[in-house]
Structure 1
């Protein structure tokens, strides 16, 4: 009998829960369409589900009509985008994960202190774009430890660094060590920037990989934290594959495998986990499922003002009054 081990924790984190809830509540209160800058989170199933309900995902604010409602994605946006949205009078809800916002505040503090800020992150990722956009100049990006030697920083300049929240802790620490070797007086964040959920899921997949012959990570290819989970499992020495949905599970991966581990990135919903489990059960003629012990997460981030219950009641009352006037 094949055995399936489920990582704990896995799937949605508090920041993703909040971001999705912001779009859902905005649709409920203000009606469709609701415009979202970039994908609200990096998961194809989530994005397509919200698109069917009336969310419109855009890359530039020029695609947003006057007077519309706009949501910033969980990854954050540059200050210039925020200023443009507000100058146009758009109704804006910021779904930036509070842990990403913390990094933005660190950048502001470091720049106010006159430091050149070096960001450890992946070029082109929306979170990196948003964080680098918190300063008008005075920021550099490094992806690997080997990039540190090529940094063009004036001799004697004060430096500091921040980190993309969804990186592998091991990878980011390797780059941080290289930065500290080159810049012994470099300022660092008061707390690690790698978010609690990213770290919990990476710790869980290390435990998972040590107990199985194959790891399946449920998440989209655009999801940084999901890709890091696959890499973490591979470093333990176990074959690992990233799958968007159950249909992506190739049956040849399962041949000769008796213990399969499943985890999910922080933007992957739990129904996708259940679908993958059922596909394996069907392919293998049944399987025992066991959930591993691990961190139980209880953190909840509040919704922004304008999306609370009383705002929904006010919107309903306004719609009713408008309907009565038109009758």
Structure 2
């Protein structure tokens, strides 16, 4: 069978940075270090870090006083930051810089007197963190229908921000509905949306024109991975979300001549290799990579972890210079 790998796929710069923060914190401070929520939504990443000495908790009251505590890439509410300070925890923020940019935009809109609407998925940790970072009553909108039910005057000053794991395509119709609903509406430029999300979704749409089946590698609680599977299905191609090769059902690919593989932004490349290995157990496999965008964005680490001597083996093996300067979001999108 022929296998075509999507390009780009897998880890984005924000995920690489978050994992590197945990690795370097373990090297500098020793085990254990505590991580509030999964650092990224991938069980293999989490289990690997657990073996190194990371302990994952959902609330800060599970962390001993004064312990090294890392906030996940999804971001946290201001109340969480305040609680960490009150308990004198050694807090290190691994929030993705693109998520931080959404927080900043939202606070600026609120400070200007605008009602802030967040486009996102209820219950997602990034959404909870963003709503807790913006002053005032932020309103969550998940679809066009909810826009019509908003109890806000049509001429009220309104602004919107979006969850970073939603692409331009995901939010386009909701933003259009907001523009129809409100006469004084502002929001971020579409170029400010997470480039990694958009690139991976665009790659899946292109991949779907060449394959009979799509396998998306990622976690079931990963918003961006689930969306990749949905896009494949929407394109008319049977698409399946799996964590690794052990979850591959041979029946999915039995009659397929060409199989497409992609991976969510929090899925490591070794899981892609694991799925390919599972396919090889079913028969001969020829692997190629689809032409696509190459991403070169790199995000600066927190100052206390920037010493190159703290570089993890994973970072060295992937030739990732995690000590690079924080890329401007628009420059990163252009490079990608």
TM-score normalised by structure 2 residue count: 0.90
* Partners of 1:75 and 1:97 within 8 A in 2: yes
* CA distance in structure 1 between the aligned counterparts of 2:171 and 2:106, rounded to whole angstroms: 17
Q: Which residue of 2 aligns with 1:22?
A: 21
The number of aligned residues is: 311
Partner of residue 114, structure 2: 115
Alignment partner of 1:82 is 2:81: yes
- Supply the distance in 2 between the matched residues of 1:80 and 1:215 (Cα, whole angstroms): 41
Q: Which of 292, 298, 301 is the matching residue for 1:300?
A: 298
- Alpha-carbon distance, 1:191 to partner: 4.4
1:249 and 1:194 map into 2 onto residues whose CA distance is 33
Alignment of structure 1 residues 157-236 onto 2, 5 Å? 157-236=156-235
Q: Give the CA deviation at 1:185.
A: 1.8
The reply on whether 1:104 has 2:103 as its aligned counterpart is yes
1:77 is paired with a residue of what secondary structure?
A: coil
Deviation at 1:74, TM superposition (A): 0.2
> SS where residue 265 of structure 2 aligns?
coil
Shift of 1:282: 1.3
Query: Contact 1:37 / 1:72 at 8 angstroms: preserved in 2?
Result: yes
Q: Distance in 2 between matches of 1:209 and 1:104?
A: 34
Ranges of 4+ aligned residues in structure 1 off by more than 6 Å: none
Partners of 2:95 and 2:119 lie apart in 1 by 19
**Partner in structure 2 of residue 57 of structure 1:** 56
The one-character-per-residue Cα deviations of 1:183-227 (angstroms, maximum 9, x if unpaired) are 132111144453111111111111111100000000000101101
TM-superposed CA distance for 1:311, in Å, is 8.0
- Can you list the C-alpha shifts for 1:98-118, whole angstroms capped at 9, x where unaligned? 000000000110000001100
Match of 1:274 in 2: 273
Q: Secondary structure at the match of 2:41?
A: coil
SS of 1:289 mapped into structure 2: strand
Q: TM-score, normalised by structure 1?
A: 0.92
The separation in 1 between residues aligned to 2:250 and 2:309, in whole angstroms, is 49
Q: Distance in 2 between matches of 1:103 and 1:270?
A: 28
SS at match of 1:186: strand
Encode CA deviations 1:124-163: one digit per residue, 9 max, x unaligned: 0000001000124231001011111111224542110001
Instruction: State the secondary structure of the residue aligned to 1:306.
Output: helix
